[in-house]
Amino acid sequence: MISKSSTATKWLTGLALLLTLSAVQAAKHKHKAPTHSLLEACQGASVLPSPNCGLTPTPAFDKDGKLWLVFVQNNHLYVTHSDDLGSTFAPPIAVNRVPEAIYHDGENRPKLAFGPQNEIYISWSQKAPGRFSGHIRFARSLDGAKHFDDPLTVNDDLAPISHRFDSMAVDSQGRIYISWVDKRDLAAAKKAGQDYAGAAIYYALSENQGKSFAFNRKVADHSCECCRIAMMPDSNDQMVTLWRHVYPGNIRDHAIIRLGIDTPPVKDQPIRATDDGWMIEGCPHHGPDLALGSKDKIHMTWFTQGEKNRGIVYGRFDMSNQTLEIQHAIDTSSSASRPQVAVASGRIYTLWKSFNGTVSELQVKSSNDEGASWSAPHALAKTADGSDFPILINRGNDLFASWHTRTEGYRLIPVSVDAH
């Protein structure tokens, strides 16, 4: 027979555990990406579009050094620009005249890029009927955002499955590359009664300023299902592409490849970029970032909870011999997340978000010896409420952090770290 005191003790223990877990979840929820702004100017159903009020503003500088943003508000994409580094913005212009459901979380946000003559290109993942379904969409403006052409769908497989997590980049010749996570091969395998781990990486290429895109090309099978892709052109106009991959045993490390105008061979295993031994039954929703150095050196940063490494990690990868030359633990704390990497004025910078129990902070480190050693972390900015993922962007030799928070709105923050 169970005594009343024993029952009461178990009940109180269970209640204490429940309250602890609830507090932890509440703290995590409080510091997620903002679902709406707390700024007074952003309240009400009739609020005009604004980068302070919209969701997941994504920045880019054009060749003249002007700041542009694309953001989501009320099922529209809007583009605006600033001539004073984000202090003021021009009236936003709608990209899609017909509203549509748009994915707008930090991992799966709209993208913004420019052509050689400042053509404006926007890509995004459109929500489609069905769980996790979507299509890759693209729109362009050839007149400085005065007018956008009607959007087109880039994926040529229109099944109600996942085509999402787009990444876009433009090479020096003006060719537009869009890559994404695609589940058409998973769907085919299921129909045939076969096993298939994860999803696949596909890309499409436009050589006519985005008027149309060529057929979809598969890069690799067995990518992670919901992590962002990092992509950037190298000095030879090939797109260095980095993504989280599913290796045998459900190991979720990273793969890297160069994309070009020719279709790449699909191999059983692409080039392995990281080896942390992170076994997880599902996608961690946490993609990598990369920046290009000299002499085929790729600077990478990523998040892991593997057996070999944990937290935010930096690595220098040599594409010529396919070797991870240097690896450094940036932040091993459990609250570190969303890493970014950039090169400016000969230094490498890493930026990430952390939570100290009270506020979310942007932390930054730098290296002046190609990643061999790093400065102490420096707190760049903070917020007491929800916030988006940070983004590092270059403007010539200057470097900025782009960050959107519920309390402060949109911020463009100069990045500087004392030399070490």
Q: In this model, does residue 143 exceed pLDDT 80? A: yes
Note the pLDDT of residue 35: 58
- The percent of residues above 70 in pLDDT, for the chain, comes to 90
Q: In this model, does residue 54 exceed pLDDT 80? A: yes
Distance CA(417)–CA(376), nearest Å, equals: 9
Q: How many CA atoms lie within 13 A of 311 on its CB side?
A: 15
Tokens of 406: 């519920």
Q: In this model, does residue 36 exceed pLDDT 90? A: no
Each residue's pLDDT tens digit, 264-313: 777 666 899 999 999 999 899 999 999 999 888 999 999 999 999 999 99
Q: In this model, does residue 15 exceed pLDDT 50? A: no
Range name among 45-49, 184-188, 250-254 with the lowest pLDDT average: 45-49
Note the pLDDT of residue 2: 38
Each residue's pLDDT tens digit, 316-367: 999 999 999 999 999 999 899 999 999 999 999 999 999 999 999 999 999 9
Note the pLDDT of residue 420: 39
Tokens of 289: 């970032």
140: helix, coil or strand? strand
Instruction: Tell me the helices (H) and strands (E) count for the chain, helix number first.
Output: 2, 27
More confident residue, 416 or 349: 349
Average pLDDT score, the chain: 90
Q: In this model, does residue 10 exceed pLDDT 60? A: no
Mean pLDDT of 390-414: 97
Note the pLDDT of residue 33: 56
Note the pLDDT of residue 29: 38
Tokens of 270: 């692409």
Long-range contacts of 302-307 (CB under 8 A, 24+ apart): 302/244, 302/254, 302/274, 302/339, 303/336, 303/337, 303/338, 303/339, 304/253, 304/274, 304/276, 304/278, 305/278, 305/280, 306/253, 306/276, 306/277, 306/278, 306/279, 307/276, 307/277, 307/278, 307/279
259: which residues sit within 8 A by CB, 6+ positions away? Answer: 177, 179, 203, 219, 231, 238, 239, 241
Q: In this model, does residue 188 exceed pLDDT 50? A: yes
22: which residues sit within 8 A by CB, 6+ positions away? Answer: none
**Which structural domains are found in the chain, ordered by start?**
99-283 (2.120.10.10), 288-420 (2.120.10.10)
List the strands of the sheet with 111-114, edge to edge. 111-114, 120-127, 134-141, 152-153
Each residue's pLDDT tens digit, 97-141: 999 999 999 999 999 999 999 999 999 999 999 889 999 999 999
